[in-house]
Amino acid sequence: MDGLRFLVLSALVLSASVCHGASLNTNETEAQQFLDDYNAAAIDDYYISSEASWALDTNITEYNTQKMLTNVSAQLESIYAKAKVCLSSDNCVSLEPDLTRIMAKSRNYTELTTVWKKWRDVSGKVMPQLYSEYVDLNNDAVKLLGNMWAQEWNERIDILKPFKDKDSMDVTEELKRQCFPFWYSNLCLIFIFRIKMCTDVTHEDLMTIHHEMGHIQYYLQYQNQSVLFRTGANPGFHEAVGDVMALSVGTPEHLRTIGLYKNQDNDEETDLNFLLNMALQKVAFLPFGYLIDQWRWSVFRGDTTPESYNEDWWSLRCKYQGVSPPVRRQDTDFDPGAKYHVASGTPYIR
């Protein structure tokens, strides 16, 4: 028996003994039996919980909403999940994939600013009071650059790439031309792991879904461990495994192998376009991921008050990203809430 497993077994036995006022049991066989019994029961509970969570997350009905809205955090997530922008009286669309597609592909400034503002009106702007309550409970927490939050700038590679006559290895058009058999709103893999994602036929979503499958590969590696060990080494490790998959898939060699990238050139200009594209994704994201948690920590420390939520948010956006809002913002706006990681309480730095 390895040392870590023995320590866990010992801790379980000690805990059980102390709780029941019994003397310390040092019998390893009995400890193993205890852990086996616990694991058998926990697996059933784990499965039931996972199925219930999936059903709830994929079926946001009024009945399920009432069940879900038993705490403030769930209310914030529900607002974000159900938010829709009405582009006309009979055309109301969600963030994914519709608004994301507009932000990525439109070059109409009026359309972009309208979508940008309307998304924040239906998501973040209705959250401030709830978010303030969420913090209290937990303490007792420009230019339009091709993305709803300007966290990645790669959708502007067409106008930013230094060598206009060379491509930047974006295979979106080839995916569409081939009707690439990969795009499903609900992709099921090996029947026990599921991805809930509204996809669009784009190079970026091809990378994203491979990132998500990286998570699944990691799940598969520890699926036969006891329930106590069915998790990543740390929260950041899962993301690292996902990015290994996405970065590997995005190389010219792999894209050629699967028939999506036809260009056989390996010239310096194409390489530089590709590297700039990657930098617009990965380097541009670093200050955004950092400032979100800077803002969150400031809120939970009490330095940022509900009255200054939005002002302090844009102060950080300007300081670290060098971006400003495309339209005038008010104290009554709550632009942080227009980002899922704020609405759901999900940290970037883990």
- What residues contact residue 325 under an 8 Å CB cut-off, 6+ apart? 142, 314, 335
Task: Choose one of 32, 54, 76: the last residue of a domain.
Answer: 54
**Residue 86: its pLDDT value, please?**
96
| Residue 270 included in any domain | no
**Residue 140: its pLDDT value, please?**
53
Task: Choose one of 221, 236, 262: the last residue of a domain.
Answer: 262
Amino acid, res. 250: G
Residue 184 burial (CB count, 10 A): 11
Query: What does 279-333 look like in DSSP terms, one character per residue?
Result: HHHHHHHHHHHHHHHHHHHHHHHTSS-GGGHHHHHHHHIIIII----SS---TT-
289, 306, 301: which is closest to 350 by C-alpha?
289
Q: How far apart are CA 62 and CA 72, in angstroms?
A: 17
Report the sign of the C-alpha dihedral through residues 68, 137, 81, 340, in that order.
negative
| Residue 244 included in any domain | yes
**Residue 41: its pLDDT value, please?**
82
pTM above threshold 0.75: no
- What domain range is 182 assigned to? 170-262
**Residue 143: its pLDDT value, please?**
63
**Residue 319: its pLDDT value, please?**
95
* Residue pLDDT tens, the chain, 350 long: 444 444 444 455 445 444 445 566 678 888 888 888 888 888 887 778 777 777 766 666 655 555 544 577 788 888 999 999 999 999 999 998 899 999 999 999 999 999 999 999 999 998 888 888 877 766 654 566 778 888 998 888 888 899 998 888 889 889 989 887 654 434 444 446 777 777 788 888 899 989 999 999 998 898 888 888 888 888 788 989 999 999 999 988 899 999 999 887 778 998 899 899 989 989 999 999 999 999 999 999 999 999 999 999 999 999 999 999 998 999 999 999 999 999 888 888 87
User: Are residues 18 and 74 both part of a single domain?
Assistant: no
User: Are residues 162 and 289 both part of a single domain?
Assistant: yes
| Residue 120 included in any domain | yes
Which two tokens mark 51? 């199925």
Burial class (CB in 10 A: 0-12, 13-18, 19+), 174: middle
User: Are residues 251 and 337 both part of a single domain?
Assistant: no
Number of domains in the chain: 3
Residue numbers annotated as active site: 212, 341
Query: What does 6-23 look like in DSSP terms, one character per residue?
Result: HHHHHHHHHHHHHHTTPP
